[in-house]
Amino acid sequence: MYELLYTGIGQSIAAYTPNAVVASLINPLVIVTLVSFCGVVVPYSQIQAFWRYWLYYLDPFNYLMSCLMVFTTWDKPVDCKPNELALFDPAPGQTCGEYLGPYQSGMGAATNLLNPNDTADCRVCQYTSGADYLRTLDIAEKSYGWRNAGIVVLFVFGIYGLVYLMMKLRTKQTKKAES
């Protein structure tokens, strides 16, 4: 689907532009813009609100990348390396588990406390599975993988329909110019 998607975008640009030089100038601009706002180069949470609320959702590469990430990452466990852990001491007289309990029962539910019974040097891994990470990228459910794969297929059909339409219009304009 990836190959059909980017070649379809290139062909639709080529079908619309007056010549190959203009197409070769516009195509990279469009592709780089789409890749930049698909949520991989710049994570969803860091995309400026103006772009996040319209371009992110109109970007076919967003749906392509999210379905690929769901299929490869969702069920994978996360094992943090020592330099990736958050290290801190709990409040005096508390264990790490007691100190982090309220946080982990609320918004920190995805965190993994490695030493809950210790009273110093608490070690916390930010994620327990790939799903926890993907939720930060606005991919909330595993079913989004198949949903987004279907959206990519719809984009491909739509783009090739656009290519067909542009070529038909171009052919009619060329015939009018020759008469």
String of DSSP letters for 84-100:
GSEEE---TT--HHHHH
Q: Band of the pLDDT at 70, cuts 50, 70, 90?
A: very high
CA distances from 72 to 20, 21, 111, 133 (A): 38, 39, 21, 12
What's the mean pLDDT when you consider all of the chain? 88
Work out the pLDDT band at 173, boundaries 50, 70, 90: low
> How distant is the alpha carbon of residue 177 from its chain centre?
45
Neighbours of 165 (CB within 10 A): 12
pLDDT over 90 at 148, yes or no: yes
* Residue 107 token pair: 């918004």
Residue 179 has pLDDT above 60, yes or no: no
Q: With contact defined as beta carbons under 8 Å apart, do 129 and 76 qualify? A: yes
Asked whether residue 64 carries a pLDDT value surpassing 80, the answer given is yes
d(CA 20, CA 131): 44
Mean pLDDT of 100-121: 89
Contact of 163 with 8, CB cutoff 8 Å: yes
Residue type, 22: V
**Tokens 């290139």 sit on residue:** 10
pTM of the model: 0.76
Res. 169 pLDDT band, cuts 50 70 90: confident
Query: Do the Cβ atoms of 112 and 127 come closer than 8 Å?
Result: yes
Structural Rg of the chain based on CA atoms? 24
The distance from CA 5 to its chain's CA centroid, rounded to whole angstroms, is 16
